[in-house]
Structures are given as C-alpha cells and as structure tokens.
Amino acid sequence: MSESKLSFFQTVVAFFDEAARLTSHSPLLLHQIRACNSVYEMNFPVKFGKDRYEIINAFRVQHSHHKVPVKGGIRYSEMVNEDEVKALAALMTYKCALVEVPYGGAKGGVRIEPRNYEPDQLERITRRYTTELVKKNFIGPGIDVPAPDYGTGAREMAWIFDTYSALNPGQIDAAGCVTGKPVEQGGVRGRTEATGRGVFYGIRHVLSYAEDMKKLGLSSGVEGKTVVIQGLGNAGYHCATSFYDAGAKIVAIAEYDGAIASPAGLDPREVQEHRKATESILNCPGSQNLNSSQDALEYECDILIPAALERQITGENAPRIKAKIVAEAANGPTTAEAEQILYQKGVMVVPDVYMNAGGVTVSYFEWLKSLSHVRFGRLSKRFEEASNLSILNTVERLTGQSLSDEEKSQVIRGADEIDLVNSGLEDTMINAYDNIREVMHSTEGVDTLRMAAFVLAIDRVAISYMQLGIFP
Ligand code: NAD
C-alpha cells in the first residue's frame, strides 16, 4: 500500500515496525506491544430538550496494559473514529515509556464538534460518556486515567471527576481518576500550560546542541529564532507564549479559519485577545492575513510547530516546507511519506512521542498529588526558607557582606508547587531528549529522532513485559 494511503493507526504501526526491526525482541513480544489491548466503542443517547435526542458515538482504547493504570486524553472532534483513537492510544504507550511515567497508553474520543454545542449540552455528553466508562470499568485511579486533549480542557475534566465521584461514593482516591482538573478541584498548577511549555523546554534543549544546529545552518539558542505555529489552542498557545517570552519571533499563526503573519513578529497574547473579541485570529492589528491556513505551514521560518491535528504535513506540501526544524506539538501531524521528504531535505523532525509528552508528564505529577492528598511544596517550602536563611546569615557573618532585602528574598525563597512542577517538567524533557539522541547516535540503522524514540520506547516496554515473566 502506498504510504499516503496509510491510515493514522497504520502510520504509527509502520513507524513501530521500522523501529522494531532494529531491536532484538521476539516477534511474539513485538506483536503484543504493537496491538491494542482493549477497544471499547459506545453509542449512547443524550436528551437536549423536551423532544430532542442525539445518539453520540464515542470510544476508549487501552493500548497497553504492561503498566496500569493506563493513561491518555479525551478528544472531542467530529473527525474522531476508531482508527484515530487507536493511533493516539498507541502513541501514548510509547510517549509514557520515553518520559518514564509508569503508565500504559490509552485514549478516548467523542465524535462531536464541540463548537456546535452549548456548555450545558457538553456537560450532559461528558457526564454520560463518563458513566459509560464507569459501567465497563474503563476509568479509575488504578485502572484508566483520562486527561484533556483536542477539544477538551479543565472544565470537562471537572465534570468527569464529579460524575466518577458521584458513582463511587467514599472512594478516597477518586480525584486520581482524571488529570487536567481545575486547581480548585484537585488539579496541579502548571498542567494547563504543560504541553506547550514542554515543547518549549524540549526545543530549547535541542537548540543547545551547537554541533547539531550547525548541520541545520542554525545558531544555538532560542533568541531571535523565527517560529510558525499551527493551532492556537491549549498546546499551541502556551508554546507560543513560552517562545515569545524567550525572545523568539512568532512570524505566523494558523487557525482553522485562516492564518496571519508578521515578519516583525506577533505577540500571541495580543492575538488571543483579538481572537476572544472577534472570534477569529484574522485581521489582527499589526499582521497580514495569509491566503489560507495551509499557507502558514510553508511560511519561511526556523521552527514550524504543528499544534492542531494529525496529517497536516503530507507528501503534497512537504517539498515546500521551509522550516529547518519541525516540532510536533500535535500528535501525528507528519505522514510517513512527508517524513521521508523532510529527511531528504535535511529538516529535523522532533517527533510527537517525545515533543508533546509534557502534558502526560505533568498529568503524572497531578495524579501523584491526587493520591497523596497534599500540594507539592506544602511540607517543605517554609523549612527550605528557614534553612536557606540560616546559611545566608552564616555567610554574611563570616564575610561581613550583606545582601539587599530583594536579593535576600530571592536567595532564601522555598519552592512553590508551580516551581516544582516546572522544574520536574524541564528535567524530564531534557533527560528524554538526551536518551533519544544517544540511541540515534549509538544504534546502527537509526537515522531519525522518530526511529530513535520508537526503538527506545519499544525496548522499555519490552523490558517491562519480560520482567513480568510473560515473555522470555
Ligand atoms: P485544542 O482544542 O485546545 O486546540 C486546537 C486548536 O487547533 C484550536 O484552536 C483549533 O481551532 C485549531 N485548529 C483546528 N483545525 C485547525 C487547522 N486545520 N489549522 C489550524 N488550526 C486548527 O487542542 P490541544 O489540546 O491544543 O491539542 C492540539 C494537538 O496537541 C492535538 O494533536 C493533541 O492530541 C495534542 N496534544 C495535546 C495535549 C494537551 O495536553 N492538550 C497533550 C499532548 C498532545
């Protein structure tokens, strides 16, 4: 079958098979890792008015039970289908392995266009979907833990938590049944921003390897780099603000209804304000509209960040991509055929399985918080500050020098929850990239970051299965 005809799931399987050939695991074990363990399709009625019902089609796929709970977001989109959810669930397995969070992969999808529903209608759909998951034991802090994805956010996660709690009265760890909750509902600070911020930490680290950047004709460092972002949603917006704050120039932004550009650079916060006021990014002051949303992908830039949906960079438009780095904030934005073309053009593709793993990393932190019932830093912040102050007082006494009050408060400050979350996220993104890069340089036949990421993930999942004693 020609690569452009491959479905999303078949594309993920093709990447897996290519990488699997470079490992030494048995065909049986590889078969077990590749296959989706459980696929649950549901159709349920939701009543919206006196005589108005709709039958909603939805899915939850648990790709791998090598570790439990399984974990993965819930997507609301009218393009949701079984193949897509299976692909996204499989990517979650490899992603969790890469960032060493102890989960198997899963994903959920509800086939609706959320823009066509009022909030109270979305609430009914979300609560009924959760009830369906509870009925089949497809949700729970130790079973399967959803999170936000395309078309969902903290609001939907709060509804899921509330529905699950109502159906499981007295379950003390109920808050661990879902992540991405509002902070007031047991969420963790920094989760909303985590996917976009993780993309930033990852790319900043990629850019720090001067020798790799030299091959691409780029200098190291984020400052002054030109960036194009497709999709100003959760992943894209927080990614854009992180790059903007670090001195990169956001030269174009694409949304579903069109794209805008400015060679002088766009301020993503201003674009978002304009979008809130006018319901579109188009005609934002200080920018010009491009002919189409797709034009932004081909815009001259150093870093292209697809942060919307899968299959955006294809065999058709890949030859015209001008970016030197493609940072896959979205899942599956590059087809296998496009990947080949980009490789031949010398473009570095930083793959989704690594690039957007900041979301699940901070979801893991939130899950730990939910199970421990205590805010990160609560027990240590004041103790740290007292220790730092006593060290500082000793140094001041011994040297006869003293700091200003402002310098003093900076030096003694103990870590808040957000500091710890961001520090854990940054550390995770740096370590995971170094591990993937090391595999790329040390494994014969591996010449892209995606293949290296898959080889590493397959090895880690395989070890898990072997340690369970199921496979030799
Ligand atoms: P979102 O719903 O918050 O935002 C998506 C944005 O893309 C929206 O603003 C939408 O209007 C826009 N969009 C849709 N079609 C477009 C098109 N053709 N061109 C340009 N823009 C378009 O979704 P999100 O959570 O940011 O997810 C985006 C991608 O990131 C998905 O692939 C998702 O799987 C991936 N991802 C998200 C998370 C997370 O924590 N939210 C984590 C990992 C991966």
Residue 5's pLDDT is 80
Q: Which of 58, 56, 16 is nearest to 36 (CA)?
A: 16
Please give the number of the atom of ligand 1 that sits closest to the Cα of 230.
20
Mutational test site, ligand 1, from 195, 276, 360, max ligand atoms within 8 Å of CB: 195
Q: Whose CA is nearest to atom 8 of ligand 1?
A: 233
Q: What is the pLDDT of residues 114-155, one digit of tens each?
A: 999 999 999 999 999 999 999 999 999 999 999 999 999 999
- The CATH number of the domain covering residues in 195-355: 3.40.50.720
Q: Are 273 and 249 a contacting pair, CB within 8 Å?
A: no
Q: Whose CA is nearest to atom 19 of ligand 1?
A: 256
Cα of 150 vs centre of ligand 1, distance in Å, is: 5
Q: In ligand 1, which atom is closest to the CA atom of 191? A: 40
Q: For atom 9 of ligand 1, which residue has the closest CA?
A: 233
Is 195-355 the same fold as 38-187?
Answer: yes
* Type and span of the H or E element at 260: strand 258-266
Which of 227, 209, 190, 204 is closest to 376 using CA atoms?
190
- For residue 84, give the amino acid letter: E
- Is the CB–ligand 1 distance for residue 256 below 6 Å? yes
Number of the ligand 1 atom closest to the C-alpha atom of 333: 32
Tokens for 300? 């001259």
What's at 325, amino acid-wise? I
> Does 233 contact ligand 1 (Cβ within 6 A)?
yes
CA distance 211 to 342: 20
* Å from CA of 107 to ligand 1 middle: 15
- CB of 308 sitting under 6 A from ligand 1: yes
Which percentage of the chain shows pLDDT scores above 90? 97
- The catalytic site residues sit at 107
Quote the pLDDT of residue 1. 44
220 C-alpha to center of ligand 1: Å? Answer: 28
- For ligand 1, whether the C-beta of 80 sits within 6 Å is no
Ranges of beta strands (E only) in 18-149 are 38-47, 53-62, 70-76, 104-110, 144-148
Atom of ligand 1 nearest to the CA of 232: 9
Confidence label for 177 from pLDDT (cuts 50, 70 and 90): very high
Q: How far is the CA of 153 from the centre of ligand 1 (A)?
A: 11
Q: Is the pTM of this model over 0.95?
A: yes
Cα angle: 211, vertex 216, 221; to 5 degrees: 65
Distance between CA 459 and CA 410 in Å, rounded? 43
Q: Which CATH architecture has domain 38-187?
A: 3-Layer(aba) Sandwich (3.40)
Which amino acid belongs to residue 59?
F
And the tokens for 309? 């949906």
Query: pLDDT of 369-385, one tens digit each?
Result: 999 999 999 999 999 99
Q: How far is the CA of 110 from the centre of ligand 1 (A)?
A: 15
Is the CB of residue 56 less than 8 Å from the CB of residue 74? no
Closest ligand 1 atom number to CA of residue 309: 32
pLDDT tens digits for range 302-317: 999 999 999 999 999 9
From residue 214, give the alpha-carbon distance in Å to each of 67, 222, 325: 40, 14, 12
Q: Calculate how far, in angstroms, residue 217's C-alpha sits from the geometric centre of ligand 1.
A: 30
Pocket of ligand 1 contains residue 330 by CB under 6 Å: yes
Mean pLDDT along residues 236-240: 98
Q: What is the pLDDT of residue 28?
A: 95
Domains of the chain by residue range: 1-35, 38-187, 195-355
> Hey, whose CA ends up nearest to atom 35 of ligand 1?
330
pLDDT digit string (tens) for 75-122? 999 999 999 999 999 999 999 999 999 999 999 999 999 999 999 999
| Minimum CA distance residue for ligand 1 atom 27 | 150
Is the pLDDT confidence value at 273 over 90? yes
